[in-house]
Amino acid sequence: MSVIAPGTPVPEFKLARADGSSFTERDLEGRGSVLVFYPFAFSPVCKEQLQLYEGLVAELAEQGVVLYGVSCDSTWAQTAFREKLGVSIEQLSDFEPKGAACAAFGVHAGPMATHFPFGIYAIPEISMVGETEQELTRQRVPYETGVARYREIARGQILGDDSGFFKMLFHREGRQLLGVHTIGSGATELIHIGQAVLGLGGGLDYFLRTVFNYPTLAECYKVAALNAANKLGR
Protein backbone atom coordinates (compact mmCIF):
# COMPACT_ATOMS: atom_id res chain seq x y z
CA MET A 1 0.00 0.00 0.00
CA SER A 2 1.32 3.46 -0.93
CA VAL A 3 1.53 6.20 1.69
CA ILE A 4 -0.78 9.16 1.06
CA ALA A 5 1.08 12.39 1.74
CA PRO A 6 -0.64 15.16 3.74
CA GLY A 7 -2.44 17.60 1.46
CA THR A 8 -3.05 15.06 -1.29
CA PRO A 9 -6.44 15.69 -2.95
CA VAL A 10 -9.04 12.99 -2.38
CA PRO A 11 -9.40 10.95 -5.59
CA GLU A 12 -12.72 10.45 -7.30
CA PHE A 13 -14.38 7.25 -6.12
CA LYS A 14 -17.77 5.62 -5.72
CA LEU A 15 -18.77 3.17 -3.00
CA ALA A 16 -22.11 1.56 -2.17
CA ARG A 17 -23.96 2.02 1.11
CA ALA A 18 -26.11 -0.67 2.70
CA ASP A 19 -29.28 1.02 1.48
CA GLY A 20 -28.04 0.95 -2.11
CA SER A 21 -27.18 4.64 -2.33
CA SER A 22 -23.77 5.87 -3.45
CA PHE A 23 -20.99 7.26 -1.29
CA THR A 24 -18.47 9.45 -3.15
CA GLU A 25 -15.67 11.89 -2.44
CA ARG A 26 -18.32 14.63 -2.08
CA ASP A 27 -19.61 12.93 1.07
CA LEU A 28 -16.26 13.61 2.71
CA GLU A 29 -16.37 17.36 2.16
CA GLY A 30 -16.68 19.66 5.16
CA ARG A 31 -15.84 17.16 7.88
CA GLY A 32 -13.11 14.89 9.14
CA SER A 33 -13.37 11.31 7.94
CA VAL A 34 -11.35 8.13 8.30
CA LEU A 35 -11.70 5.35 5.72
CA VAL A 36 -10.59 2.00 7.12
CA PHE A 37 -9.85 -0.52 4.36
CA TYR A 38 -10.05 -4.18 5.35
CA PRO A 39 -9.63 -7.28 3.14
CA PHE A 40 -12.48 -9.65 3.85
CA ALA A 41 -15.64 -9.74 5.96
CA PHE A 42 -15.75 -12.45 8.65
CA SER A 43 -12.01 -13.16 8.48
CA PRO A 44 -10.48 -13.36 12.00
CA VAL A 45 -8.05 -10.46 11.52
CA CYS A 46 -10.75 -8.17 10.11
CA LYS A 47 -13.05 -8.98 13.02
CA GLU A 48 -10.37 -7.87 15.48
CA GLN A 49 -9.55 -4.83 13.36
CA LEU A 50 -13.10 -3.46 13.31
CA GLN A 51 -13.74 -4.27 16.96
CA LEU A 52 -10.60 -2.32 17.83
CA TYR A 53 -11.73 0.67 15.76
CA GLU A 54 -15.20 0.50 17.29
CA GLY A 55 -13.57 1.46 20.57
CA LEU A 56 -12.35 4.68 18.95
CA VAL A 57 -15.68 5.77 17.43
CA ALA A 58 -16.79 7.90 20.39
CA GLU A 59 -13.39 9.56 20.77
CA LEU A 60 -13.25 10.41 17.06
CA ALA A 61 -16.84 11.70 17.13
CA GLU A 62 -15.87 14.20 19.84
CA GLN A 63 -13.36 15.60 17.37
CA GLY A 64 -15.90 15.71 14.54
CA VAL A 65 -14.42 12.72 12.74
CA VAL A 66 -16.53 9.93 11.22
CA LEU A 67 -15.12 6.43 10.73
CA TYR A 68 -16.08 4.22 7.77
CA GLY A 69 -15.19 0.62 6.94
CA VAL A 70 -14.40 -0.23 3.32
CA SER A 71 -14.00 -3.65 1.71
CA CYS A 72 -14.64 -5.39 -1.60
CA ASP A 73 -17.45 -7.47 -0.08
CA SER A 74 -21.04 -7.06 -1.23
CA THR A 75 -23.30 -4.79 0.82
CA TRP A 76 -25.32 -7.73 2.19
CA ALA A 77 -22.12 -9.46 3.35
CA GLN A 78 -20.96 -6.25 5.03
CA THR A 79 -24.34 -5.81 6.72
CA ALA A 80 -24.23 -9.35 8.08
CA PHE A 81 -20.64 -8.80 9.20
CA ARG A 82 -21.52 -5.55 10.96
CA GLU A 83 -24.51 -7.09 12.73
CA LYS A 84 -22.49 -10.13 13.74
CA LEU A 85 -19.81 -7.95 15.34
CA GLY A 86 -22.29 -5.52 16.84
CA VAL A 87 -20.35 -2.48 15.63
CA SER A 88 -21.75 0.92 14.66
CA ILE A 89 -19.16 1.71 11.96
CA GLU A 90 -20.90 2.25 8.62
CA GLN A 91 -19.69 -0.19 5.97
CA LEU A 92 -19.03 0.90 2.36
CA SER A 93 -18.78 -1.64 -0.45
CA ASP A 94 -16.20 -1.53 -3.24
CA PHE A 95 -17.78 -4.57 -4.87
CA GLU A 96 -18.71 -3.12 -8.28
CA PRO A 97 -16.50 -2.38 -10.06
CA LYS A 98 -14.54 -4.57 -7.67
CA GLY A 99 -11.61 -2.79 -6.03
CA ALA A 100 -11.93 0.43 -8.08
CA ALA A 101 -12.06 2.74 -5.05
CA CYS A 102 -9.28 0.80 -3.35
CA ALA A 103 -7.10 1.29 -6.42
CA ALA A 104 -7.86 5.02 -6.42
CA PHE A 105 -6.48 5.26 -2.88
CA GLY A 106 -3.50 3.02 -3.65
CA VAL A 107 -4.82 0.14 -1.56
CA HIS A 108 -4.06 -3.34 -2.87
CA ALA A 109 -7.29 -5.25 -3.36
CA GLY A 110 -6.14 -8.34 -5.19
CA PRO A 111 -8.45 -11.34 -5.39
CA MET A 112 -8.83 -13.57 -2.37
CA ALA A 113 -7.94 -17.22 -2.68
CA THR A 114 -10.80 -19.04 -4.33
CA HIS A 115 -10.44 -22.45 -2.67
CA PHE A 116 -11.87 -22.18 0.83
CA PRO A 117 -12.46 -25.47 2.67
CA PHE A 118 -15.73 -26.24 4.42
CA GLY A 119 -15.82 -28.32 7.56
CA ILE A 120 -18.61 -29.76 9.69
CA TYR A 121 -17.40 -30.93 13.09
CA ALA A 122 -19.93 -33.70 13.53
CA ILE A 123 -19.35 -37.38 14.19
CA PRO A 124 -18.09 -38.30 11.69
CA GLU A 125 -16.47 -35.08 10.43
CA ILE A 126 -17.42 -33.84 6.96
CA SER A 127 -15.27 -31.59 4.80
CA MET A 128 -14.91 -30.43 1.20
CA VAL A 129 -13.02 -27.98 -1.00
CA GLY A 130 -13.51 -27.07 -4.65
CA GLU A 131 -16.29 -28.13 -6.99
CA THR A 132 -19.06 -30.68 -6.46
CA GLU A 133 -20.28 -33.23 -9.00
CA GLN A 134 -23.55 -31.32 -9.30
CA GLU A 135 -21.73 -28.08 -10.12
CA LEU A 136 -19.49 -29.73 -12.70
CA THR A 137 -22.45 -31.47 -14.33
CA ARG A 138 -24.35 -28.19 -14.52
CA GLN A 139 -21.29 -26.48 -16.06
CA ARG A 140 -20.86 -29.42 -18.48
CA VAL A 141 -17.28 -29.99 -17.32
CA PRO A 142 -16.02 -33.51 -18.12
CA TYR A 143 -14.76 -35.06 -14.90
CA GLU A 144 -13.81 -38.37 -13.35
CA THR A 145 -13.96 -39.48 -9.73
CA GLY A 146 -11.37 -41.26 -7.67
CA VAL A 147 -12.44 -42.77 -4.36
CA ALA A 148 -10.86 -44.35 -1.30
CA ARG A 149 -12.48 -45.95 1.72
CA TYR A 150 -11.06 -45.72 5.19
CA ARG A 151 -11.45 -49.47 5.63
CA GLU A 152 -8.90 -49.90 2.81
CA ILE A 153 -6.39 -47.58 4.51
CA ALA A 154 -4.13 -48.87 7.26
CA ARG A 155 -4.67 -45.76 9.36
CA GLY A 156 -8.43 -46.12 8.99
CA GLN A 157 -8.20 -49.69 10.28
CA ILE A 158 -6.08 -48.55 13.22
CA LEU A 159 -8.69 -45.91 14.07
CA GLY A 160 -11.47 -48.43 13.74
CA ASP A 161 -13.20 -46.21 11.18
CA ASP A 162 -14.66 -48.60 8.60
CA SER A 163 -17.21 -46.16 7.19
CA GLY A 164 -15.00 -43.20 6.26
CA PHE A 165 -15.16 -42.18 2.60
CA PHE A 166 -12.87 -40.00 0.46
CA LYS A 167 -13.41 -38.70 -3.08
CA MET A 168 -11.49 -36.53 -5.54
CA LEU A 169 -12.76 -35.02 -8.79
CA PHE A 170 -10.43 -34.60 -11.78
CA HIS A 171 -10.88 -33.05 -15.20
CA ARG A 172 -11.07 -35.91 -17.68
CA GLU A 173 -8.93 -34.16 -20.28
CA GLY A 174 -6.52 -31.90 -18.39
CA ARG A 175 -6.41 -34.18 -15.29
CA GLN A 176 -6.47 -31.12 -12.99
CA LEU A 177 -7.86 -31.56 -9.50
CA LEU A 178 -11.32 -29.98 -9.32
CA GLY A 179 -12.57 -30.90 -5.87
CA VAL A 180 -12.07 -33.04 -2.77
CA HIS A 181 -14.81 -34.42 -0.51
CA THR A 182 -14.43 -36.55 2.58
CA ILE A 183 -16.42 -37.86 5.52
CA GLY A 184 -14.77 -39.64 8.42
CA SER A 185 -12.20 -39.27 11.17
CA GLY A 186 -9.92 -36.26 10.71
CA ALA A 187 -11.75 -35.11 7.55
CA THR A 188 -11.32 -31.41 8.38
CA GLU A 189 -7.55 -31.88 8.65
CA LEU A 190 -7.18 -34.22 5.68
CA ILE A 191 -8.85 -31.72 3.33
CA HIS A 192 -5.96 -29.25 3.51
CA ILE A 193 -3.70 -31.34 1.27
CA GLY A 194 -6.30 -31.09 -1.46
CA GLN A 195 -6.75 -27.38 -0.78
CA ALA A 196 -3.03 -26.78 -1.33
CA VAL A 197 -2.93 -28.81 -4.56
CA LEU A 198 -6.01 -26.96 -5.86
CA GLY A 199 -4.44 -23.61 -5.07
CA LEU A 200 -1.23 -24.53 -6.87
CA GLY A 201 -3.03 -25.89 -9.93
CA GLY A 202 -1.95 -29.50 -9.42
CA GLY A 203 -3.72 -32.61 -10.52
CA LEU A 204 -3.79 -36.36 -10.87
CA ASP A 205 -0.16 -36.77 -11.91
CA TYR A 206 1.02 -35.08 -8.73
CA PHE A 207 -0.78 -37.61 -6.54
CA LEU A 208 0.44 -40.55 -8.64
CA ARG A 209 4.06 -39.48 -8.17
CA THR A 210 3.86 -38.45 -4.53
CA VAL A 211 4.69 -40.73 -1.59
CA PHE A 212 2.72 -40.17 1.62
CA ASN A 213 3.72 -41.21 5.12
CA TYR A 214 2.44 -44.66 6.13
CA PRO A 215 0.24 -45.32 7.96
CA THR A 216 -1.63 -41.99 7.65
CA LEU A 217 -5.01 -40.93 6.34
CA ALA A 218 -3.14 -38.98 3.68
CA GLU A 219 -2.79 -42.32 1.91
CA CYS A 220 -6.40 -41.74 0.80
CA TYR A 221 -5.06 -39.30 -1.78
CA LYS A 222 -2.83 -41.97 -3.29
CA VAL A 223 -5.52 -44.65 -3.36
CA ALA A 224 -8.13 -42.29 -4.82
CA ALA A 225 -5.66 -41.08 -7.44
CA LEU A 226 -4.92 -44.65 -8.52
CA ASN A 227 -8.64 -45.33 -8.69
CA ALA A 228 -9.18 -42.30 -10.95
CA ALA A 229 -6.15 -43.22 -13.11
CA ASN A 230 -7.55 -46.72 -13.66
CA LYS A 231 -10.86 -45.25 -14.81
CA LEU A 232 -9.07 -42.87 -17.18
CA GLY A 233 -6.82 -45.62 -18.51
CA ARG A 234 -3.79 -43.97 -16.96
Mean of pLDDT over the chain = 90
Give how far Cα 202 sits from Cα of 45, 152, 159, 170, 233, Å.
29, 25, 29, 10, 19
Does residue 111 have a pLDDT over 70?
no
Q: How far apart are CA 231 and CA 189, in angstroms?
A: 27
Which among 205, 226, 217, 212 has a CA at the least distance from the CA of 146?
226
Give the C-alpha separation, 22 to 29, whole Å. 15
Taking the complete model, does pTM exceed 0.75, yes or no? no
Residue 112 has pLDDT above 60, yes or no: no
At 34, which helix (H) or strand (E)? strand 32-37
Determine the pLDDT at residue 213.
Answer: 94
Q: What is the pLDDT of residues 30-58, one digit of tens each?
A: 888 999 998 878 777 788 888 899 999 99
Q: Which residues lie closer than 8 Å to 158 by C-beta, 6 or more apart?
A: 215
Evaluate if residue 97 carries a pLDDT over 70.
yes
Predicted confidence at residue 95, as pLDDT, reads: 87
Query: Residue 180 above 90 pLDDT?
Result: yes
d(CA 93, CA 195): 28
Structural domains in the chain, CATH included, are 14-104 (3.40.30.10), 118-232 (3.30.390.30)
pLDDT band at 2 (very low <50, low <70, confident <90, very high): low
What pLDDT is recorded for position 43?
A: 74
Check residue 211 and give its pLDDT: 92
Q: Are 193 and 218 in contact (CB under 8 A)?
A: yes
Confidence tier at 139 by pLDDT (50, 70, 90): confident
